[in-house]
Amino acid sequence: MGIPFLKELFHWNKPKLNPFQLIGAGLCMFTVLFTGYFLDNMAIASFGSFGIFVFLYYHHLPLQNLLLRLSAIGLFVFVSFLLGLLSTHVSWLAPLVVSIIAFTGRVFFRLYNITKPGVFFGVMVAAMGTSIHLPLSALPSTALYFLLGIILSLIMASLVHFTEKTPAEPVPKISISQRLADDPAVVLDGIFYGGMLFFAVYLSQGLQLTNPYWMVVSTAAVLQGDNLRAMLHRNIQRILGTIIGLGLSVFLLNLPLTTVQTLLMITILYVIVEITVRTNYAVANFFITPMSLMLASLIKHQYMIPLLPDRFIGIVLGGILGLFAAWIMTVGLKFYNKAFDLHENLDKEND
């Protein structure tokens, strides 16, 4: 008999993790936040923190392969963010931009076996970009802040690489044509993933949610699961984690923290997320919610408590849409496979 469903939800994984990787993650966030603080420009802290998400893709590889991998991911995330920002100047482009990014990233990350978080951060920053209305004159400086975060991630990843005590995993050289031959369903999966996120952006904007990207990000997070059961787990974990995370957010946002204390708290939360996201997704969401809201408050300078119900609604709606999309895809592929098998059998009988 399998593990009971509730036990699966709160199963605590114990991945092997280089402690210097956690230190590196904390230093990345600390450096970006306090650079913005000392330069009296919190836009550096806010947008630069998006760039350091690239560090989360760190994997113990030969240095050349590691830097090539992170550079490619950094370029993808950077372009995704810029396209999301630019789409705000032509409102009908937002769903199309996010869906193209989702399709391209899904195919790329799956073909090159770049595991979770996979395409998620590309979709996340693109969706966030579609909700940030910046004048074109502000784009160069915003792009520079984002790039600083990416460069910092590359530097920190290189330093962490030299602390590894075991040999790096070799990276086999496989052509793109061979990768496609080994995984022929990747294009179909990418089309479905991109199509569902197109609908998520369209629906979130049509509902006129306060922050539409919360719904889009939630849909993308649920669809990161490897199968329908895993997606159901992620949906429930995300909702439960968000409920507790909102309670923690109320507590932290009501504390009389100075700016420095707020930056230190964000850094601590980021390190905790780095640990818990690998062990239990529900627990990770306890800390993702307050960290995200505290980061947003740095640049928006607004009281975030009234936005908590909107975040919860966006996450629930996105989770439901993501789970519904996963069910449609699972059922659709089963019917497709039955039809394919039927034609194969008939062909064999006629030979």
The whole-number pLDDT of residue 310 equals: 81
Q: Quick one: pLDDT band at residue 217, thresholds 50, 70, 90? A: confident
Rounded Cα distance between 105 and 102, Å, is: 5
Residue owning tokens 């369209």: 202
Residue predicted with more confidence, 27 or 337: 27
How do residues 322-337 score in pLDDT, each as one tens digit? Answer: 888 888 877 777 776 6
Q: Quick one: pLDDT band at residue 162, thresholds 50, 70, 90? A: very high
% residues pLDDT > 90 (the chain): 30
The whole-number pLDDT of residue 351 equals: 44
Rounded Cα distance between 9 and 305, Å, is: 28
The whole-number pLDDT of residue 85 equals: 92
CB 241 within 8 A of CB 285: yes
Q: Quick one: pLDDT band at residue 3, thresholds 50, 70, 90? A: low
Does residue 344 register a pLDDT over 50? no
How do residues 76-111 score in pLDDT, each as one tens digit? Answer: 999 999 999 999 888 788 899 999 999 999 999 988
The whole-number pLDDT of residue 1 equals: 39
Does residue 343 register a pLDDT over 50? no
The whole-number pLDDT of residue 348 equals: 45
Instruction: For 72-134, give the DSSP string.
Output: HHHHHHHHHHHHHHHHTTSTTHHHHHHHHHHHHHHHHHHHTT--TTTTHHHHHHHHHHTT---
Q: Quick one: pLDDT band at residue 9, thresholds 50, 70, 90? A: low
Does residue 214 register a pLDDT over 80? yes
Q: Quick one: pLDDT band at residue 349, thresholds 50, 70, 90? A: very low
Choice among 136-145, 301-310, 336-345 with the minimum mean pLDDT: 336-345
Instruction: For 25-85, give the DSSP string.
Output: HHHHHHHHHHHHHHTT-HHHHHHHHHHGGGGGG-----HHHHHHHHHHHHHHHHHHHHHHH
CB 223 within 8 A of CB 325: yes
The whole-number pLDDT of residue 299 equals: 66
pTM: 0.86
The whole-number pLDDT of residue 346 equals: 39
How do residues 236-266 score in pLDDT, each as one tens digit? Answer: 877 888 888 888 888 888 888 888 999 999 9
Task: Tell me the average pLDDT of the chain.
Answer: 83
What mean pLDDT comes out for the span 274-291?
82
- The number of angstroms, rounded, from the C-alpha of 200 to the middle of its chain's C-alpha atoms is 15
**Spatial CA neighbour of 19 closest among 331, 271, 285, 334:** 271
Give burial (CB, 10 Å; 0-12/13-18/19+) of 123: buried
Q: Quick one: pLDDT band at residue 169, thresholds 50, 70, 90? A: confident
Residue ranges per structural domain of the chain: 16-165+177-345
Cβ within 8 Å of residue 272, ≥6 positions away: 287
What mean pLDDT comes out for the span 127-144?
88
